[in-house]
Structure 1
Amino acid sequence: MVVTLQLPLSGGSLSPYTLSDTRLIIPPQSKLTSRIAFAAAHVVCDPLADKDPLHHAQIDWDATLAYRRRLWSLGLSVAEAMDTAQRGMGLDWIRAKELIRRSAAEARSVGGTIACGAGTDQLPPGPQVTLEQVEAAYEEQCAYVESCGSQVILMASRALAACAASPEDYERVYGKILRQVSRPVILHWLGETFDPALKGYWGHQDLDAAMEVCLRVIRSNPDKVDGIKISLLDADKEIQMRRQLPDGVRMYTGDDFNYPSLIRGDEQGFSHALLGIFDAIAPAASAAIQALDEGDLSRYEAIFEPTVALSRHIFQQPTYAYKTGIVFMAYLNGYQNHFRMLGGAEGARSIVHLSKLFVLADQAGLLESPELAVHRMKHVLNLAGIDRSTGGLYGAS
């Protein structure tokens, strides 16, 4: 059956869009072998909780954990309590602790792989914070994550960015924490595009100089670093750093613009993955990497290629608002029964943005139940003032 919707354009007009016949990607149900692939998972809020949604929104634990089970069932690993879960933008440390505890227990029950973010977000960032307080905050969070049985992802710290006076301060803090962890961690270098408060991380504005500081940290503690995820949206910088990592230290791409080529790699190496977009394109991510496992590069490219336009759209500036698109995809595909987010972040993207997301998801074969997705898209359009019965604007003559 041909289905056509009236979708809004940037100038305020409406344009018809007819759903494509792109086949839904159905990944094989087997383990991934050639690459480690973490999906940074989103959280589902409870829209019926009688709490201040801007500051005290409740998490729907059943739906949140069910989504993680889906990711594990596709062969993906879960990166928990990261920025995709609205860490620092709706999810505070108190609720992150419960999320980490519950998700780590769920991982054990199903045999899934998990790594959880440890940061310093119990501290208010500012020049009044000391390096000693940053170290204590990292120590508290790392100890908690490890006590839950999870690997640590050592997240970038807004507090450290605010109080560090030199690159040596970063080396001091990271060196102290790495000497204390019981198993190798994944470092996380999040660029200012994702979080403006992290501008000048590692003590330098220049990325090459910052990279050298980070590499010194890794080279001083190679047995305590499993790998590093960098989210700079700069493929050349990632490759440059990847080629300088000590043997045994992995690169995990956090580049939601260029992940297909970075994961595929070149004659000198490749990147594993720790990506927010893998939450939204999980079936395609699983199927593509399994094609890579089988050495079928043509199928790998064919699966991933149409997802790039969707990812670049979801992660367009302001990049930190990408979580809205991630949650919208889960809503369209029926993994949650509402489009509400912690902190009211469902309002961070326009109806025009969400409409184009719908189109790109359809063209990439990622609408798992097109009938449901169309029904929900019409509902969202209706809330934006587009009459679902006529396809026109309410009140228009």
Structure 2
Amino acid sequence: MEEGYEITPVAKERRKFSLLMLFAVWFGAGISIAEFWAGALLTPALSLWAAVGVIIVGHIIGNAVMGLIAVEGYEMGLPTMVLSRGALGIKGSILPSALNYLQLIGWTAVMLIVGANAMNALSATFGFEGYPLWIILLGTLVTLWTYVGPRRWEALEKISALLLLILSLWLTYVTVKKFPIGELLSRPGTGGVGVMLALDLVIAMPLSWAPLVADYSRFAKTKKGAFWGTYLGYFIASSLFYFVGALTNVAVGESDPIGIILAYGLGIPAMLIIILSTLTTTFLDVYSAAITYKNISPRADAKKQVLLVGALGTLLALVFPVDRYEGFLILIGGAFVSLTAIMLTDYFVVRKGYDPEELLDESGPLAGYRWRALSVWGLGFAFYIGLAVEGLLGIHVPILSGIGSALGSSIPTFLLVSLLYYLVERR
């Protein structure tokens, strides 16, 4: 098996990822149409000033969670789902791993759909439309990008990150120049979304990446590189695209980035942003799905899983409309808000570290299920769904729906699960 496709600890002398490399990985993940849409949800309900404040504070908090998982991955040299064995047990980690595997295939499809829609809208301005062809092209490129493996990502990631930085700064400049920023900043919000709910919308995005972070930080050369490469790369890119989304929505009431791109007549540069951002975001889903599967079946061939996940994501994107399962995928994401809270509390507060060999010993003390942790995880997952389900699917849950509409679902779930797990383990 090629290096980078196993779930055994990566020896520190064989780690190749510098701070700059991890910065490039997470910068590429943060340049995404999803971030643009999320930023547009903040305005005009909030003023642009308030939206900027929420974006910054939310990313400071959410990225701290990503950074801590990155440190855990660096110290143990293990992927995220293998690290979850410390709290849940080896068999206990199989269910969240299966959910993560399924959601990553789903998000692969969603990102291919979003990218293909954008490419099709742009190519139509040149007289060509071919949505299925764009799906297949992007799916093939994402699969090939992933298949070459971590040892060969460095040049790809650094070049694409540099291009995305240039293109994104240019897009931001065009956007800011087009609108009267001073007047927009002084415009009051219309209400309807409270600051806490808006903060939750921002924090939820970096939290959604938490199940993937250690898959990449285990290759980091230094602990500082693991933390700050992850933290700063995603912080800068995601915050920038949140801001552009919020700005354009408060300026012209346009929350669709494809519509904005067409209105600006950005053409070829926009195509480059869409293709590169689809690749640099979606390959993380494909690779982590393959590594997650090895936590379920350690003898599986991860490179074959890359091909399978890429093919399944592409097929789903061709067959199903995105609105059929995007809300479902967000609900599944609640499993990982709860899991991340447990993992961080267990690693940094309760046990203060693991023995990597113990996490891999299928006949050792962690071989089975840790039922207390699984109970707290399940309770937190159910709590998250109760908070989020009305906003996503229109199903009202007494009391919980009210809390969810005021405070969101990620922050209350993370705090409740962290406290419950600490109390249960310290009892």
Structure of greater relative contact order (alpha carbons < 8 Å, 6+ residues apart) = 2
Query: Fold-level match, TM-score > 0.5?
Result: no
Scaled by the length of structure 1, the TM-score of the pair is 0.30
Q: Whose strand proportion is higher, 1 or 2?
A: 1
Scaled by the length of structure 2, the TM-score of the pair is 0.28
